[in-house]
Every structure is written in C-alpha cells, then in structure tokens.
C-alpha cells in the first residue's frame, strides 16, 4: 500500500483537484496485501509491507482511513469468486469509484495514477461537469 501511495505522489495535486480520495484497505488476511480505492472503506494495517504512513493534517482532502474492513473483505472475495483472475496478496487490487458510487475501474496492483491524472477533470463547483471522468476504456 505504501508503494502505491508513493507512486501517486507525482500526481497527487492534480488528482486531489479532480476529487480523487484514496482509502487503503488490507483485504487479504496476510499483511503483505493491499487494495487502494478512490473511495471506500476498510482499515489500514500498521505493520508489515502493507503498512501506510499515518494520516496527517495535509491528507484530509487526499486520503482517509478505512472502516468496515470485514465487509470489504467479503465484497472482494465475492468479486474474485466470479472472475477467472488469480490475485495474490503481493499484487493487491484497486477499485476506483465514480462520485455517484459506481465502479469506474478496477484491477490488479496499483491504480493507474498517470492515466487517472490525464482523464479526470477538475472539480469546478459546476454541477453540470463535476464528476465527468473521461474515457473509461481498458488500455
């Protein structure tokens, strides 16, 4: 999880302006697994490779602490049960949600921060275009 947050750092300002909010959730039983989501719930681990830095005052518009981890674990297990994808705890998963709560994108590993930074428009306060999230095609 820490590596995914570190990979997002060059894009943090642009992503935050686009309304991206990151919640890390260790959904696998072992401490080496991670899932990053643009929005969601779960709890961050404080030890092992999945650990993430504690939240600071500067994180309030960028990153949050997960809650309801057992519910998210059940949801991810159900999603993995209907796919042919094998995901190891070392790869992790990400789920990106739209502002209305629908899944925008998901996959193995870290979110595609650079792609998100290019595709997502800034939050402008104009309800007509806020949340427009560009191309959703798989690349």
pTM of the shown model: 0.67
Are 81 and 74 within 8 A, CB to CB? no
**Virtual CA dihedral for 27, 46, 52, 16, nearest 10 degrees?**
70
The CA angle 8-93-91, to the nearest 5 degrees, is 90
SS3 (DSSP) at 63? strand
Are 31 and 48 within 8 A, CB to CB? yes
Q: What are the sequence ranges of the domains in the chain?
A: 2-119
How confident is the model at residue 125, as a pLDDT? 67
Question: What are the tens digits of pLDDT across the range 84-107?
Answer: 777 766 677 888 888 888 888 888
d(CA 26, CA 103): 19
How confident is the model at residue 97, as a pLDDT? 86
Question: Token pair for residue 28?
Answer: 């696998």
How confident is the model over 4-11, as a mean pLDDT?
Answer: 92
Compute the mean pLDDT over every residue in the chain, rounded to the nearest whole number: 74
């Amino acid at each position: 999880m820490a590596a995914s947050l570190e990979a997002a750092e060059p894009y943090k300002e642009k992503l935050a302006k686009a309304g991206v909010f990151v919640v890390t959730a260790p959904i696998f039983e072992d401490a080496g697994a991670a899932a990053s989501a643009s929005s969601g719930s779960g709890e961050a681990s404080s030890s092992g490779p999945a650990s993430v830095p504690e939240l600071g005052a500067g994180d309030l518009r960028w990153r949050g602490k997960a809650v309801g981890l057992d519910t998210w674990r059940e949801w991810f297990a159900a999603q993995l049960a209907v796919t042919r994808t094998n995901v190891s705890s070392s790869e992790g998963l990400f789920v990106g949600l739209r502002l209305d709560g629908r899944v925008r994108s998901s996959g193995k590993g870290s979110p595609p921060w650079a792609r998100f930074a290019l595709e997502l428009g800034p939050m402008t306060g104009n309800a007509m275009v806020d949340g427009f999230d560009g191309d959703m095609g798989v690349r």
